[in-house]
Amino acid sequence: MASDPIAGVPLPWPDQPGELPRHFRNRQALAQTLEQLFPEAAGSLSPVRGGRHQADTLLARLQPERYAKGRNFLDGPVTRLSPYIRHGVLTLAEVREAVFARTRSRQGSEKLINELGWRDYWQRLWQQLGDGLWRDQEELKTGHSAAAYARELPADILEARTGLACMDGFIEELHGTGWLHNHARMWLAAYLVHWRRIRWQTGAQWFLQHLLDGDPASNALSWQWVASSFSHKPYIFNRGNLERYSNGRACRHCPLATEGCPFEASYEQLEADLFAPMPTIRATDNRRGGRDASRSGNRGRSGTTQGSSTTALSRPTPRR
Amino acid sequence: MQRPILWIHGEALGPANPALVAHPGRPAVFVFDSALLLGRSASTGDPSSPAEPVSLKRIGFLYECLLELPVSLRRGDVAEEVLTFAAAHGADGIVTCASNDPRVARITETLLRQLPVQVLAVEPFVQLDGPVDLGRFSRYWRRAEPQVWAGWREPGP
């Protein structure tokens, strides 16, 4: 409970000068102390609690088969383990064993194990790329030059007043809780990069400020996937896709629901509106061997999207 | 190393941290990295953009994770604070756990100028020997998936 005292586990060695407190009257007192210790850090605590105790509670609720079926929906049975995995509160090996312990048939758990694989993949890439993951891995395939993208986040985005109920809701959730469903991350990232033409790095840094699971590798490389510097095609969505996987939650009270929704179009129309002609796309891809051809190959109109348990903005996915 | 201290970093805030497992009861320290929290690191921000501090939500989450571990908390320059802690405990070395973050590697190098540092590996998700093709996930997964599932035993009737 929020009013319960918070006590760090006892230390068998004496405190040294300059060490930070480990006992608090309650969670509010913790928040106040942290505000004093870290005055530059904006906001307050997330409703999501840190610690292995909470991670174990979530782990006990794992349902790999339900996850496989419903993970793309904003209200679907995603695990919410990502912050704990990102900071090693749980190791991937521990989560793998927890999934195995709940596995009756391999097929039912393959999706969740595959998601853990994505986390491992991004981490291996981080080892390989180092800080270079902030650089475009490939040319953009949008027909726009990198210089055409704004470096700063516009105020209406920072203040969650874009006028789009879906995006404003996602921004408020990001700022308030530090967690977003993977699908919401993808939509928000695509909106920023493609509809607002903001550099992916700017968006990625903004996510890292807020996401409890903010991992440089998963986050930056997934933004690159959306932007198309780490994929063979930019990721976009349309209203039909968003409405389906959000159960129309935001659209029901969006002032633009009946007229003016920028996502209300076919993919063909949106591509024509958002991107400049780029006749060399195919040649580029063939030459490079399509780093994530497996993902882009999956991105046909009939694919399904993936909500992630494990990563910041988890590996991007097919758009429908 | 007879009297090491343990340096816990933000990639391994759980009881499975191999330094905690290998040296139960030894003094352990976590340092809130001031520069990193101000966004002045590639771990929290784009190196080519102006720095933006991370929000209190993230710090609070780390803090709550850390309160469940036997670890002293400090803030400032990580290497300096770890070495101060090591000196206060008369340590002859530092034990920590592996990380993919280049920032952790750089801090480790700084520590090494003063004290021996032992870096312990975390249990891997999947052990893949030799070079791994990361060109695309599918290539990695083609190799990794059978290895991962080799550890699963179908439940009996």
Domains of chain A: 136-297 (1.10.579.10)
Q: Is A39 in the B-facing interface, judged by CB distances under 8 Å?
A: no
- For residue A2, the model assigns a pLDDT of 64
Residue matched to tokens 């929020």: A2
A16 and B88 within 8 Å at the Cβ level: the answer is: yes
Which of chain A's residues have a Cβ under 8 Å away from the Cβ of B60? 30-31, 34, 44-46, 50
Domains of chain B: 4-120 (3.40.50.620), 126-157 (no CATH)
CA-based diameter of chain B, in Å?
Answer: 60
Question: pLDDT truncated to tens, each residue of chain A (320 aa)?
Answer: 567 999 999 999 999 999 999 999 999 999 999 999 999 999 999 999 999 999 999 999 999 999 999 999 999 999 999 999 999 999 999 999 999 999 999 999 999 999 999 999 999 999 999 999 999 999 999 999 999 999 999 999 999 999 999 999 999 999 999 999 999 999 999 999 999 999 999 999 999 999 999 999 999 999 999 999 999 999 999 999 999 999 999 999 999 999 999 999 999 999 999 999 876 545 444 333 333 333 333 333 333 334 343 334 444 444 43
Check residue B157 and give its pLDDT: 67
Quick check: A56 contacting B, CB < 8 Å? no
Q: What distance in Å separates the CA atoms of residue B141 and residue A122, rounded to the nearest whole number? A: 12
Q: Report how far apart, in Å, the C-alpha atoms of B45 and of each of A39, A122, A173, A184, A214 are.
A: 19, 17, 21, 21, 10
Q: How confident is the model at residue B109 (pLDDT cuts 50, 70, 90)?
A: very high
Give the ipTM of the model, two decimals please: 0.97
- Given an 8 Å threshold on Cβ–Cβ distance, is B67 in contact with A289? no
Q: Which residues of B touch A84 (CB under 8 A)?
A: 14, 65
Phi-psi region of A155 (alpha: psi -120 to 50; beta: other; left: phi over 0): alpha
- pLDDT tens for A17-48 read 999 999 999 999 999 999 999 999 999 999 99
Which tens digit of pLDDT belongs to each residue from A279-295? 654 544 433 333 333 33
Q: Of A164, A250, A149, A163, which Cα lies nearest the Cα of A203?
A: A149
**What whole-number percentage of chain A has pLDDT above 90?**
85
pLDDT value for B76: 98
Identify the three-state secondary structure at position B5: strand
Measured distance CA(A189)–CA(A218) in Å, rounded: 13
